[in-house]
Each structure stands twice: as structure tokens, then as C-alpha cells.
Amino acid sequence: MTAIAGVILTRDEETNIEACIDTLRWTDELIVFDSFSTDSTVSRAESAGARVVQHPFENYGAQREAALKVARSEWVFFVDADERIPPELAAEIREKIEGPERGWWVPRHNYIFGRLTLGAGWFPDYQLRVLHRASARYDPLRPVHEEVILDGQAGYLETPLIHHNYRDRDHFIDKQEKYTDIEAELRFSQGLKPKARTYIGAPLRQFWWRFVTLKGYRDGLHGLDLSLMMAYYEFQTWRRVAWRWQTRAI
């Protein structure tokens, strides 16, 4: 049987880590790749039987790249601490890694504010998480919403991963503030500059894409709320890009 490692990236995940580990016990190697948590994440993970490796956080892509090098198994399955693996998904992964594909996209059921969200881009929300370790590396130019460079073909799994995403509005805002800063820095580094019309056009396009194209309307007021918030953070991203250009000119 082909060996696979379950790898959980963590930073202060004491409320999630044990439940996540419990749904990965079918793997051959269980690694918690921690960016120096200040809570009890590490001790809880070790008590639950995981191998803990600590590594300073630079960005999401670099963290996953470093974790790839730590695993010993032929395959790696990346999981976040707020995700859970149903038995049906575990069985499907075991079956599929025996084939010729070098990676597998995993769909996710995202629970946002406690509600399963099927529109606005949150389903099927495919993530390339099951990787043949020697065939995969992460694009260093994508520090957030990281991208895998895969030597070979990737397939698509059918069973969704369960993602308890964004506990409440405050949690959503906290994460989006961080993502927005990272994305703004990336756009700035690429030399992108907003025009006056960008501040209106880009948020409107983001809203239309989320609510109409990606069918956020299927989730009713919940989908409308999420689409509006993502449009707002698109505006904030360009505002922060502009601030970086202004600061550089001083």
C-alpha cells in the first residue's frame, strides 16, 4: 500500500487540533507543521500522537513547501486545522493514490458562520491538497492562495472535505484583513497601479462574480452578505496598493 502523510499547518489552533488529528488517523504519517504557536497547540498535538515540526512562518506557499520536505511518505495530504476528513474521503484518497495521477483536487463543504455555503465561490472550492511529494512544489510568487506546480496530471475527487470556515463575522474580518494586506503587497510587487475607475469597477466586478456568476444568490441573504463583503475587500486591496505607491513616492 502506498504511504501517505497527513500534514496539518498550525498557528494557535488549540481548539481545533485534536479533532482534526482524529480524522487523519488513517494516514501512515501524521505531522503537525507549526509556526511557533503560543497556546497549547503543540502539547495537544504531541499528546494526540502527531509528530510536531516547528518552522517560522514566511507565507503560506513557503510554509507548505517546507512541509513537503519534512514528510517521509510518498504522498502528502495537506489539511488545515479547521478541516475534517470524512471516512468516505479517506477511502477515496487511498484508492486514487494508487493510480498514475500526481495530484488530486479535493472539493470542500465550507461552513461559514455555521452555515453550509454552496454559492459565491465556496463550493466546490477545489483545493489541490493530495500531492505526490516528489512531483510537487509551490510557486514562490504566490504567497497567499498558494499555487502548486505539479509535474504530471491531477485528477478531481468526489467526496468533499469539511471546512469549518469563519466562525463568525469578526473571524471573517480578521482573516480578510490579513489576506488583503498580503494580496496588496503582491499586486504592488507586480507593479500594478489602480486608476480612479478601479475603485468602483473592481468591487462591482467582484460582487457580480460572487453573487451572479458564482451563484451566491442561492444562499439568499447569507450569499448577498458574503458577496458584498468580498467586494468591499477588493476595494480595500486596491486602496492599500495605492497607499504603498504613495508611501514609496514620499
Model confidence pLDDT, tens digit, residues 161-184: 999 999 999 999 999 999 999 899
Residue 143 has pLDDT above 70, yes or no: no
pLDDT, residue 238, reads 98
Residue 187 has pLDDT above 80, yes or no: yes
What CA–CA distance (Å, rounded) separates 108 from 54? 27
Q: What confidence tier does 149 reach under pLDDT thresholds 50, 70, 90?
A: very high
Domain annotation for the chain: domains and CATH numbers: 4-165 (3.90.550.10), 169-249 (no CATH)
CA dihedral 223, 104, 92, 161 (to 10 degrees): -30
| Assigned C-alpha cell, 207 | 460582487
| Assigned C-alpha cell, 93 | 484518497
pLDDT, residue 24, reads 98
Q: Over the stretch 197-242, which tens digit does the pLDDT of each residue have?
A: 999 999 999 999 999 999 999 999 999 999 999 999 999 999 999 9
pLDDT, residue 58, reads 87
| Residue 107 CA: distances (Å) to CA of 9, 10, 122, 126, 142 | 19, 21, 10, 4, 21
Residue 144 has pLDDT above 80, yes or no: no
| Residue 169 CA: distances (Å) to CA of 24, 72, 99, 119 | 29, 39, 42, 18
pTM: 0.89
Residue 140 has pLDDT above 90, yes or no: no
Helix or strand or coil: residue 200?
helix
